[in-house]
A and B are shown apart, each in its own frame.
Chain A
């Protein structure tokens, strides 16, 4: 009764619903494998004729571009290094020149200084010699005066003590005393 009707309904639905695994329904295998082969062949030709060569070309081109860009960058870097070297060289040259100028100026100044010092020294020496001469004259004068005074004093002392003094003797005695 009820089972019969549901059975009938089930039978009607059986066309649309699977009994067991549809995977094991071998009647459709030929069909599936046929369409699979068609699909694979189509995909194979699309990929091997169009897609893969195109992508390979794009990748190769990109690689080339990157390589070129890197080469260009390296070239620019080398140029920059060169420029820096030139700059450093110019700087070093300028420094050396400056040092030369400084040294020359120093030498000149030193020479001037030496000349001035020499001149001053000579002047000082001349003045000193002059002064020494003057001092010697003064000293000689003083000695002479002392001798005179000593002679006079001695003569006076001798005469006061009652002696008789020859001028020559007195002078000799004074000389001897003064040397002593």
Chain B
């Protein structure tokens, strides 16, 4: 801390790339209780408003020939619907609203996080682990409800030689339980890393000589982050579909 401040005195350089991820109560006070209204609450509420604007306000006219706003809503609907149908199968369509909810929240939170001065809710492991555990629990419950004990066949690779099957079963069980970890760390890690890197480049902009390079780098990173914001939402959603497929059709 001290050396950092020392460096700031010398070159005017101040790196606080992680400050943007701080959870702060909105209405004063230091304590963050379970129901405290924080910047997390604010930006999640904004995500809800964005989803409502896109999916409800945009489609309010129910036009046969869609307006631009309605087209976007329909595009999102068709995109996820087709993904669920193609990846998880026709019988997974009843989970479509659930998967759509996950996708819309993640994609909106990611894009809202790209606004300057914003707070990115999906950069927090708490949020992504919450999402991933939700998927994990849902998939596991659906798997057992649909298939009963046959769901355990997911871990018993019947196409492998008999001697290998116990070993493979252990690997399969481990990989099954690692799923929510990779599922959540991937999303939060990507989003957090991009935002932190942008902040670091922004710190360099304080030096006049470097600032043009820094601004170009920020611009490039921002472009990449726009891609990442969508791609990570897409990846999270398609993995959810894949896991759901495993739950509905556990046979290899």
Contacts and interface: CB of A to CB of B under 8 A. Distances in A.
Nearest to B60: A54
Contact of A43 (B6, B101, B125, B126): B101
Nearest to A66: B64
B59 interface: yes
Interface string A38-73: 111011101110111011111101100100000000
B126 A32 contact: yes
A6 to B, nearest CB: 4
Interface of A is mostly: helix
Contact of B130 (A20, A25, A28, A36): A36
Contact of A30 (B34, B44, B45, B127): B34
Contact of B18 (A22, A28, A33): A22
A131 to B, nearest CB: 99
Contacts of B101: 40, 43-44, 47-48
B97 A48 contact: yes
Contact of A51 (B32, B40, B55, B134): B55
A17 to B, nearest CB: 5
A28 B124 CA distance: 10
A10 B5 contact: yes
A39 B18 CA distance: 24
B64 A61 contact: yes
Given A31-B33, A46-B56, A50-B56, A23 B124 contact: yes
Interface stretch (B46-54, B141-149, B229-237, B239-247): B46-54
Contact of B19 (A18, A39, A54): A18
B21 A58 contact: no
Contact of A39 (B32, B36, B48, B73): B48
A146 B131 CA distance: 148
A27 interface: yes
Contacts of B44: 35-36, 38-39
Interface in B5-24: 5-6, 9, 16, 18-19, 21-23
Interface of B: 1-2, 4-6, 9, 16, 18-19, 21-23, 30, 32-36, 38, 40-41, 44-45, 47-48, 51-52, 55-56, 59, 62-64, 66, 70, 73-74, 77-78, 96-98, 100-102, 104-105, 121, 123-127, 130-131, 134, 188, 192
Interface in A1-26: 3, 6-7, 9-10, 14-25
A150 B194 CA distance: 151
B36 A31 contact: yes
Contacts of A29: 126
Interface string A81-122: 000000000000000000000000000000000000000000
Contacts of B192: 23
Nearest to A55: B77
Contacts of B63: 58
A169 B237 CA distance: 150
A15 B30 contact: yes
A37 B130 contact: yes
A24 B125 contact: yes
Given A7-B1, A44-B101, A52 B77 contact: yes
Contacts of A55: 55, 59, 73-74, 77
A27, A39, A44, A48 pick with most chain B CB within 10 angstroms:
A39
B60 to A, nearest CB: 8
Contact of B52 (A22, A38, A46, A52): A46
B126 A28 contact: yes
Nearest to A46: B52
Given A14-B1, A23-B126, A32 B18 contact: no
